[in-house]
Amino acid sequence: MARGRPTKSQVRQNIVNMLHLLKESYGYDLFRHYRTLFSPVTMRVVYYHLKKGAELGEFQLHKVAKEQGKFSWGEEAMKIYYRLGPEAKPETIESLKNHFEEYFKSLSPGSQSTGIPDKAMGGGDDAGGEGL
C-alpha cells in the first residue's frame, strides 16, 4: 500500500483541462478563469498546483515574459507561462469548451474564429500544443 498523500488533485486536473483549451497561460489568468468556472479557490492554491504539476510533468514552463504597465507594485510584471506537459491527461468538458469559445470571441469582436485550434476541440492527442 502506498504511503503519504495521493498526488491526484481535482484542482490540478481542472487546470490541465483549461490549459488543454488555452494551449498556454500564466498563473493569474488561470486563477481568474478557474474562479469563473469552478468553486472559488485562492490564488495561492492555483500557483501551488502549477508548481506541483510542473514537478509531476503535467505542466511545462513555456516562457517567462516581462510586461510593462502601471501595476500597484510598479512598472513591470513578470508572467510565467505554462503549457501541458507529457504526463497531462486532459479531459474534454463541454462547459469549459463553451466558456473559452465565448472568451476568445470577446477578445476579437467580429471574428468568426473561436480562437481554439481544432485539435483542442476534441480531436488529436497533442498534449503539448503545436508550434509552442
- Taking only the tens place, the pLDDT of each residue in 104-120 is 888 876 544 444 444 44
C-alpha cell at 88: 497531462
Residue type, 81: Y
Maximum alpha-carbon separation in the chain: 56
Total residues belonging to the chain? 132
Round to whole Å and give the CA distance between 5 and 2: 9
Rounded to the nearest integer, the mean pLDDT of the chain is 83
C-alpha cell, 54: 510542473
b/e map 11-36, b = 16+ CB within 10 Å: bbbbbbbbbbbbbbbbbeebbebbee
Output phi, psi for 6, to 5 deg. -70, 145
pLDDT at 53: 96
Q: What is the mean pLDDT of residues 51-80?
A: 93
Per-residue pLDDT reduced to its tens digit, 33-55: 999 999 889 999 999 999 999 99
The rounded distance, in Å, linking the Cα atoms of 118 and 97 is 11
Q: Mean pLDDT, to the nearest integer, of 1-28?
A: 90
